[in-house]
Amino acid sequence: MFFCIQRYYLMHLISKKELRKLQIKKLTEFANSKQKLSEDKILKEKLLRSSLLTKAESIGISVSMPIEVNTAPIIASLWKMGKRVYIPRCLPKRKMEFTLYDKNTILVKTKFGVLENHDSEAIVNNNLDLIIVPGLAYGLDRNSRLGFGGGYYDRFLEKYPTQTLSLANSAQFFKQTTWRVEEHDIPIEKLILVK
């Protein structure tokens, strides 16, 4: 019986690649809605009240693209709270590091479309108290996460384990993980949901 159920679920799991494509389409449409604006606000407020955040002094957070939860107002609040904010930058071999981000930082757009700090003198810190991990989809049953497919966060977190948190709007979260989770996929410690 157990094996039959397990087989049923395996047969109905979607590949990460397929779901990525579906989610990018869904999130692109959602990005233009009023609902997204209101959910961004709710998620920001919930995050700022969470104990993981209040306890953390150094925080890793990405500069969002339009289809992601808007991190600009979150970063502004973190600065006001006196937190040290670090943003990721991609390195060769799908590696990533975090660089200090303050009001004087100049951001450069990469080929992939994200803003990064490319200053060679930037302060690098990969030992952060908390990392807010971006994603396209999250599964509530396993705290699983699907990203853009670079494998940057899984590689990074394997080397520099720390507390992780993700913000999930209504277009990003799934009650069940309907995609094939792989061995290298690191679950997110805390998911903050819009509802």
- Smaller CB separation from ligand ATP, 101 or 148: 148
Nearest CA-CA partner of 31 in 39, 43, 22 = 39
Query: Least CB distance from residue 129 to ligand FFO, whole Å?
Result: 19
Find, among 160, 153, 58, 158, the residue nearest to 96 by Cα. Answer: 153
The CB density around residue 26, as the number of other CB atoms within 10 Å, is 16
Q: Which of residues 47-106 bind ligand FFO (CB under 6 A)?
A: 62-65, 68, 88, 90, 96
Question: Of residues 13-32, which lie at the interface with ligand ATP (CB under 6 A)?
Answer: 16
Where is the binding site for substrate, in residues? 63, 68
Q: Which does 57 bind (CB under 5 to 8 A by kind): ligand FFO, ligand ATP, none?
A: none
Binding-site residues from annotation: 16-20, 63, 68, 145-153
- Please choose, from the candidates 161, 163, 128, 143, the residue with its C-alpha nearest in 3D space to the C-alpha of residue 52: 163
Of the ranges 50-58, 106-114, 142-150, 171-179, which one interacts with ligand ATP (CB under 6 A)?
142-150
Question: Which CB, 55 or 184, lies closer to ligand ATP?
Answer: 184
Angle at the Cα of 130 (from 161 to 180), degrees rounded to 5? 55
* Residue 112, contacted partner among ligand ATP, ligand FFO, none, CB below 5-8 A by kind: ligand FFO
Residue 71's alpha-carbon distances to 22, 64, 85, 172, in angstroms, are: 23, 6, 12, 15
Q: In what order do the strands lie in the sheet with 163-168?
A: 95-100, 84-91, 58-61, 130-132, 163-168, 190-193
Q: Which residues bind ligand ATP (CB under 6 A)?
A: 16, 146-155, 158, 184-185
Residues near ligand FFO (CB under 6 A) are: 62-65, 68, 88, 90, 96, 111-112, 114, 134, 147-150, 152-153
